[in-house]
Structure 1
Amino acid sequence: MSLARSQPPALSANFLSRKHLFNLFESSVPGATLVVAPAGFGKTTLVTEWVKENDRATFWYTVDANDTIQDFQAHVIAAITAHFPNFFANVDQLEHFEPGESIQLLAAAVGQLDGEYNFVIDGGRADNYDIAPYAQLIADCVPDNCHLVIVRRNTPMTSLARYAALGNLSVITTEELKFSKEEVELVAAINGVDLSENGNAKELALCEGWPSAVQLMCRNISKGNSHTTFSKAIAANVNPLGVLAIESYNTFSQATREKLRKLAIIEEFDLEIASVILGKDHSEELLNRIAIDGLFVTASTTMNRTYRFNPIIYEALSQIPHENWAEMKVVQQKLAELFTQRGDHTKALHFAHESGNEEQFAQTFRSSVRQMAAIGRGDLLIKWAHFAGDSSAQGEMMKKAIRVVGHLVSSEFQSAEALASELEYIAGLSPDGKFLYRLSAMVKANIYFARGDFERTTQSLDIAISKLETDDALDSSDLLALLRLRARQAFLYDDFAVLAEAYSQAKSLPGGGEPQLNSYQLACIQSMVLYSEGQYFQAAEISQIAISQAKESGFVGINGPLDAMLVLARAQLEASDLDNCLETLNALMSEASGWEIWPWYLMAEGTLTRIQISQGAISTGSEAIAKQRAFLSKLHTPNQLSWMIDMSEVFLRLATKDWPRADELVKRMPKIELVRQIEGNIQFAKDPKKLVSLIDALPERTVREKINKWLSEVSINLDHENVALKSLNKALALGAENGYHEYFIRQSGMYSLIVKAAAAKPTIYMEGLVQAMTERLHTINTDSGELEEKLTQRELEILKHLTTGNPISAIAKTLHISQNTMKTHLRNTYRKLEADGRHSAVEKAKKLLLI
């Protein structure tokens, strides 16, 4: 990513070097330099020259008055990746966190870089009210390996006491930035101004060293232009630089002035934008000539060359009224169309609104709403919602509808829910009741799913997808998003039939909506379907495509690729690609937490926990489960999320052979695949005579079902090796084709049989499988966290009594044993637990789930 304002601006060919001022900069890291002066004192030029001469790499951000906090993050990320293109492979995900948290995470990531850096925030052009609330946090979070440089027109409210306390703060002000007598003489000489003639020295003395004033005055004198108005402007307390800027502007030919005036509709532009504005009068040669001069326009050094007006000139030109408003409105409309095509919704809506063409604004807004929602720009939706409709009842309703979507995609679920309820009420009074009712249901379905309130998610989905048809309210993209939500819930619950049906319905939707968004959402659903069918290779491939699409297009929040990420993590786990699996799960947890979509967070964390348990880390798994339950208890909204934690505990209880607790958990859990497998095993155990017929009746439509059925045949024929091997070989062959690895590793009871199958057919896949199984069994046996010497039943009884807090003598009396016998049992218990007393013994026993 390369953004013009994430790079230091280019220096004009004839700029006046001021290296003698470099000693004013603080050089320490950590440290800060504050450059504060009014417009026209060369603040940005000085800092630009300093960083170009500095040995440290520089991360640069030029503030724009219209930037949002997300724009700030995007530009800082672009500035950093310009130096470290591979370091921040996932840093764009930080844009999707709550701003304060993302700023902290970004700073922490920079702090891990080796070396020292400069971080420049050039806010000298204008104040920004969206970023201002985060100014102190930004300053406080700058890591110790960075030198902070702030450029402003006025003293910031931000405290830099952190650097002052270290003695590493420098402030460069107006007095230091004024041109010296020698510099004034040099600028005059460059412009061919003879200070001994026509009172030129006296006129320049009026500038009092004001750099831009000196340069503009010299330019005007060299052009033979009157400059007496400058002193009048000072006397009248009028902006004298503006006066000089206009006088300099008037030195150009009429044709050039007209082009500059037209271009001043926007402060920063590229060649395509210039072409739209100037039409047949567009000239790249003219732009480059003016940029070389550097007084009016500067050019960027990025690959896509951009031009930016000098802020003084821009402010002055902006005050000149347009002579042909009709022509200007046409240009604004064309710019709105161009920025819509580019996906720059901020500028597109700005120019559509400025053009005064209500129909175009409405069209631009409508065409942008779904895209802005998909990329999480709820801030823009809320900002422009006021202009989305007129003052009529229908217009007010439209404004509310846009605002509710804005709050939803910004993960402001409480506000979104309140507005959705208001829309429901309005629906009963409005002719557009059907639209409002379905829109409200769509919003609430997403809110309830994010909270894990699956019952109300289903109810809202049933209303929102009452009929799979397109209308003015819900187009194909909306309906596809709803079907994806239904598929997500079915995927979490292992409801493969509903998942497949949702995918079938999604594929049959008519065209329309946002093609790129539609393609992405279909890929997400398809990845879940492929995984549910056991086609792990294909599931991994499609999920990676979906994740790449999301990253490229910026789909986040409720539209983010969390479902595809879980599919990818599970497919990586099945391939025993644990390093990448853990990386994907951690990224999933970070994003889900940042967007407060808790089902994905708990599923990812639960998968991590089950991996730990499968590797024998019983204590670690137990602690993780306890933390998950504590986290869940702090969620103050209705949810059905506890079964996700139960799933991990069942896994743990089965590993520790705690059958009663496992049975208790299974009975309260929904019929997910794990529960169905356990209940199937119980059924087999209860009625062995029907075992063969029950297994014969198992379905085998998908890869998953076939392998499950064949492994069931193996399990009942372990005493008949040839029969078992026949079924096992079929399962292994199909598993090799579809990415099954971890699934077979977990079949520890079939280890010897898999070893024989590998010996008979020593493929790379089979040899790798046996090696992984051997290592896993060794890990479980040696590093399981289990006790080397088991506790006796009496010692376990004593442990349970220790938790009561009763005195040792009372416990001995309750158990009908002598004090000496009690002491002997305690010594043995402490030794086996490697505990130094009663308290630590109880804690260790709890971690090992002994009590």
Structure 2
Amino acid sequence: MRDDQAPEVAAPGQAEVLGDTWLLATKLRVPRRRSLVHRPRLVRLLDEVADHTLTLLVAPPGWGKTSLLSDWCHAGDGRAVAWLSLDREEGDPHRFWHYVVAALRTVVPGLGEQALQALGTRQALTEAVLPSLINELVTVDEPVVLVLDDYHVVTNTEVHDAVAYLLRRAAPGLRLVVATRSDPPLPTGRLRAAGELVEIRAAELAFTGAEAGELLNRELALDLGEEDVARLGRRTEGWAAGLYLAGLSMQGRDDRAASVAAFAGTDRYVLDYLGPELLAGQPEDLRRFLTQTSILSRMTPDLCAAVTGRADSAAVLTHLERTNGFLVALDDRQEWFRYHRLFGDLLRHELGLAEPERIPDLHRRAARWLRESGDVPEAIEHFLAGGDGDGAAELVLAHWTPYFNAGHLRTVERWLEMLPSERVERDAGLCLARTWVLLDQGRLDVASAWVMRAEQAATGPDTARDAALARAVHRFKIGDVGACHAAARRVLELGSGDGFGDTVARCILGVGLFWRGDAVAAVRTLTEAVRSARGADNQLAEIYALGYLAVAHLHAGALTEGRRVADVAMAKVVEPAVSEHFVAALPHTAHAALLSASGQLDRAEPAADRAVGLARRGAGRLEIGLALAHQAQIRIALGQDGTAALDDARQVVQGCPDPGWLPERLAGLRRSLRAAAPRPVAGDGTSSLSEREAALLPLLAGTLSLREIGAVLHVSVNTVKTHSRVLYRKLDVTSRDDAVHRARQLGLL
């Protein structure tokens, strides 16, 4: 009957290990069956889940959504139900899908391993995470029901879009049940039209007269007459929580008919009337305990003792759990509890009236206990609620990096947004946290201002080095070759720092040398970056450096070494954890360049297309431009129109302060495009091609220089020139481009 029965969290440090230690087991358990009135008519509606893609329970708080779902789950019938109780922390897409996989694993052990790996590298949800999860669900023998309770707390559009994607492509064995206070932005119209949607709303959840009578008279023993039950039913419009609150307020009263007549059933009247009525009959010490602990979203005896100063908190909670229907146990051991949300609202309202001056201190007490217990997110929120911005900032500084590296980008962003802006701006570490969030989001212009703030706020060598590293990464991402090179050198001059900083600095330094045209020096530095990445066990950085190293070898004329390094990089990007990450763009770019150079253009084209797609997921502007340049070059060599790729690349270059040699490369490709205009076909002259000339022709169609072609054929450059002149004469052309074009017309390539 009562809504909001879902457990939220377990004790800090005591969560079950479900793949990640921060996952809380209580969020994945079906709440205990506590409905006071069994409602078979609604359970039958839920039994239609098996035949519909989506079942939606939509109603305001207190209408019994969670209780009904709990009843249905505990009814059994052999169904496999994966349960997830949501809270606002699941607005972070990474956190949300981690919990979804964990919930599904409670009924299908081992499910979603590839999805978890993709989440670990922050890959695109609809391109890497969800497809692998859906494919695994197709193989599950028995239908699985996924319940998402309190879905209204999710406000992130990325989460909604991903759930919509799951619904559009849902495996036949997956059924989704969503309980929410408002209609979610999901494709309900399409599902409704297709007959794939079950809807249970307030009208269906409203208590009938018989159900209201059972609650008020059998369970609460009020002995109300039929007319009084009907009157309360009308006043509350069947709202389960309103009926229950009204019934509790009438217990112990002699004139219950008068109480029924005075009761008003809207939310406002419930708060104004039932709050004082319920609390007025409580002893003063218990009333103070209730109001003071109302600041807690969840409570355990030790936390309550820290907030209230009462040593008997455990006994008080036990008493409340037995006698007060508004205290909900969150675990089977009954160590953690929370107040019914509506009751909590009433208590906080009363606290604001009775002891407003105590509220900041109560929050600070809670924050200190939670900090010591290791619950960082809640401690931060209580420090802020208590007006202790410094305490919250210290926790953010100490913990934002592991949360960020674990993919909880939105969580870190929300912390920074909650902190006083002036506190963030004067702290170099917090400025850097803001910078990395913005860089990851691709908001490069805004990130620049925060790098500057970090530099200005730096107070020691560590923060100065960290700021310089962020500056180097930012300058490269916007395509400022000279500045990123200088910034990377400054990082290394300031000291290597940790393994991550050293690796990133060497990567950026090598990349800067590459784009400045010094391929030989780039090879040396990128080799060091690969070594540093391996020492730091940084797989993404290793793949990134290997990709650049392969391309640098090609530009330095070391074709064999470039192919060797590219093969190493390509062997690594097939792993699920990195295959869809933008760092894989460089190995694919090198692979495409090598295929093109050896004349294997049909294989080179899809490799180049793949490189462009990966680069657009978060690579720097120059890396996107390089991938587009190779795509255009291969299309031109194939006799296709490379204009679109060149136009895209030119637009990228125009936004770069210092794009290195890329503009010159694009200009050369533009000239090649013009030179590839159709020419008349003369006699074929092909029957007289020698074996050496036939071997030379596909290499001329690639991107190797004549000297590099000689190395491939094991002849001198002069011999290559001699064979080329003979080949041109036989094809009746005068240039390399014309020879390639003529060969395509004749079907030789």
Determine the structure 2 residue equivalent to 1:483: 502
Determine the structure 1 residue equivalent to 2:577: 587
| 1:19 paired to 2:44 | no
The separation in 2 between residues aligned to 1:294 and 1:584, in whole angstroms, is 57
Contact 1:61 1:120 in 2 (8 A): yes
TM-score by length of 2: 0.65
SS of 1:589's equivalent in the other structure is: coil
Contact 2:389 2:423 in 1 (8 A): no
Determine the structure 1 residue equivalent to 2:55: 33
What's the CA shift for 1:255? 4.5
What's the CA shift for 1:47? 2.0
Q: Which structure 2 residue ranges, 5 or more long, are not aligned? A: 1-17, 515-520, 551-562, 635-694, 718-725
SS of 1:40's equivalent in the other structure is: coil
Give the stretch that moved more between structures: 170-179 or 221-230. 221-230
Determine the structure 1 residue equivalent to 2:116: 92
Determine the structure 1 residue equivalent to 2:380: 349
Contact 2:592 2:608 in 1 (8 A): no
Q: 1:13 to 1:619 in 2, by over 3 A?
A: same
Matched to 2:67, the amino acid is T
The separation in 1 between residues aligned to 2:705 and 2:27, in whole angstroms, is 54
Matched to 1:32, the amino acid is L
User: After the TM superposition, which residues 778-789 of structure 1 pair with which residues of structure 2 at under 5 Å, given as runs?
Assistant: none
Determine the structure 1 residue equivalent to 2:448: 417
Matched to 2:588, the amino acid is E
| 1:638 paired to 2:622 | yes
Determine the structure 1 residue equivalent to 2:244: 215
The separation in 2 between residues aligned to 1:667 and 1:305, in whole angstroms, is 76
The separation in 2 between residues aligned to 1:152 and 1:640, in whole angstroms, is 42
The separation in 2 between residues aligned to 1:279 and 1:37, in whole angstroms, is 39
Q: Deviations over 1:460-505 (max 9, x none)?
A: 1123444339xxxxxx55xx54312134457888979758988xxx
CA RMSD of aligned residues (A): 5.7
What's the CA shift for 1:36? 2.4
Q: 1:302 to 1:583 in 2, by over 3 A?
A: farther
User: After the TM superposition, which residues 39-78 of structure 1 pair with which residues of structure 2 at under 5 Å, given as runs?
Assistant: 39-52=61-74, 53=76, 55-65=78-88, 67-70=90-93, 71-78=95-102
Q: 1:317 to 1:152 in 2, by over 3 A?
A: same
Matched to 1:361, the amino acid is A
Matched to 1:446, the amino acid is V
Contact 2:84 2:100 in 1 (8 A): yes
Q: 1:285 to 1:89 in 2, by over 3 A?
A: farther
SS of 1:34's equivalent in the other structure is: strand
Matched to 2:87, the amino acid is D
Q: Deviations over 1:543-578 (max 9, x none)?
A: 4xx67xxxxxxxxxxxxx54379889x9xx99xx99
Q: 1:106 to 1:46 in 2, by over 3 A?
A: farther
What's the CA shift for 1:368? 3.5
The separation in 2 between residues aligned to 1:265 and 1:132, in whole angstroms, is 29
User: After the TM superposition, which residues 586-605 of structure 1 pair with which residues of structure 2 at under 5 Å, given as runs?
Assistant: 586-591=576-581, 593=582, 600-605=583-588
Residue from 605, 619, 629 that aligns with 1:623: 605
Q: 1:667 to 1:417 in 2, by over 3 A?
A: farther
The separation in 2 between residues aligned to 1:66 and 1:353, in whole angstroms, is 16
Give the stretch that moved more between structures: 161-170 or 281-290. 281-290
The separation in 2 between residues aligned to 1:331 and 1:487, in whole angstroms, is 49
Contact 1:265 1:318 in 2 (8 A): yes
User: After the TM superposition, which residues 250-265 of structure 1 pair with which residues of structure 2 at under 5 Å, given as runs?
Assistant: 253-265=283-295
Contact 1:332 1:355 in 2 (8 A): yes
Determine the structure 2 residue equivalent to 1:703: none
| 1:295 paired to 2:325 | yes
Q: Deviations over 1:806-831 (max 9, x none)?
A: 99xxx8xxxxxxxxxxxxxxxxx9xx
Matched to 2:605, the amino acid is E
Q: 1:442 to 1:68 in 2, by over 3 A?
A: same
User: After the TM superposition, which residues 541-690 of structure 1 pair with which residues of structure 2 at under 5 Å, given as runs?
Assistant: 543=537, 561-563=540-542, 581=571, 584-591=574-581, 593=582, 600-605=583-588, 621-627=603-609, 637-639=621-623, 642=626, 664=704
| 1:528 paired to 2:534 | yes
| 1:457 paired to 2:463 | no
Residue from 180, 183, 193 that aligns with 2:208: 180
Matched to 2:386, the amino acid is S
SS of 1:590's equivalent in the other structure is: coil
Q: Deviations over 1:622-655 (max 9, x none)?
A: 3344436766998883359859999xx9xxxxxx
What's the CA shift for 1:105? 4.5
Contact 2:119 2:129 in 1 (8 A): no
Contact 2:472 2:484 in 1 (8 A): yes
Determine the structure 1 residue equivalent to 2:297: 267
State the identity as a percent. 15
The separation in 1 between residues aligned to 2:740 and 2:524, in whole angstroms, is 55
What's the CA shift for 1:313? 1.5
Q: 1:174 to 1:30 in 2, by over 3 A?
A: closer
SS of 1:587's equivalent in the other structure is: coil
What's the CA shift for 1:160? 0.5
User: After the TM superposition, which residues 10-409 of structure 1 pair with which residues of structure 2 at under 5 Å, given as runs?
Assistant: 10-13=31-34, 15-25=36-46, 26-52=48-74, 53=76, 55-65=78-88, 67-70=90-93, 71-95=95-119, 101-102=124-125, 105-112=128-135, 113=137, 114=140, 115-123=142-150, 127-128=153-154, 130-131=155-156, 134-135=159-160, 138-142=163-167, 143-144=169-170, 145=172, 146-156=174-184, 158-187=186-215, 188-195=217-224, 206-224=235-253, 231-232=261-262, 234=264, 238-240=268-270, 243-244=273-274, 247-248=277-278, 253-269=283-299, 273-274=303-304, 276-277=306-307, 280-281=310-311, 283-284=313-314, 287=317, 290-291=320-321, 295-300=325-330, 306-321=336-351, 328-340=359-371, 345-385=376-416, 395=426, 403-409=434-440
Q: Deviations over 1:503-543 (max 9, x none)?
A: xxxxxxxxxxxxxxxxxxxxx965635xxxxxxxxxxxx84
SS of 1:209's equivalent in the other structure is: coil
SS of 2:67's equivalent in the other structure is: helix
SS of 2:584's equivalent in the other structure is: helix
Contact 2:121 2:578 in 1 (8 A): no
Q: Deviations over 1:3-31 (max 9, x none)?
A: 35743541344632222312323435443
What's the CA shift for 1:42? 0.7
What's the CA shift for 1:88? 1.7
Q: Deviations over 1:326-345 (max 9, x none)?
A: 76544433443455567654
Q: Deviations over 1:430-475 (max 9, x none)?
A: 9979999866532232235567876543321123444339xxxxxx
What's the CA shift for 1:353? 0.9
TM-score by length of 1: 0.58
The separation in 1 between residues aligned to 2:129 and 2:162, in whole angstroms, is 12
Determine the structure 2 residue equivalent to 1:757: none
Matched to 1:336, the amino acid is A
Matched to 1:83, the amino acid is V
What's the CA shift for 1:35? 2.0
Q: 1:381 to 1:167 in 2, by over 3 A?
A: closer
User: After the TM superposition, which residues 433-448 of structure 1 pair with which residues of structure 2 at under 5 Å, given as runs?
Assistant: 441-448=468-475
Contact 2:63 2:239 in 1 (8 A): yes
Matched to 2:580, the amino acid is S
Q: Which structure 1 residue ranges, 5 or more long, are not aligned? A: 470-475, 503-523, 530-541, 548-560, 594-599, 650-655, 669-674, 687-791, 812-828, 830-837
Q: Deviations over 1:280-331 (max 9, x none)?
A: 5365565466556783132345899643332221222221225556765444
**How many residues are treated as equivalent by the alignment?**
621
Q: 1:139 to 1:379 in 2, by over 3 A?
A: closer
The separation in 2 between residues aligned to 1:315 and 1:619, in whole angstroms, is 68
Matched to 1:141, the amino acid is L
The separation in 2 between residues aligned to 1:236 and 1:149, in whole angstroms, is 28
SS of 1:320's equivalent in the other structure is: helix
What's the CA shift for 1:82? 2.6
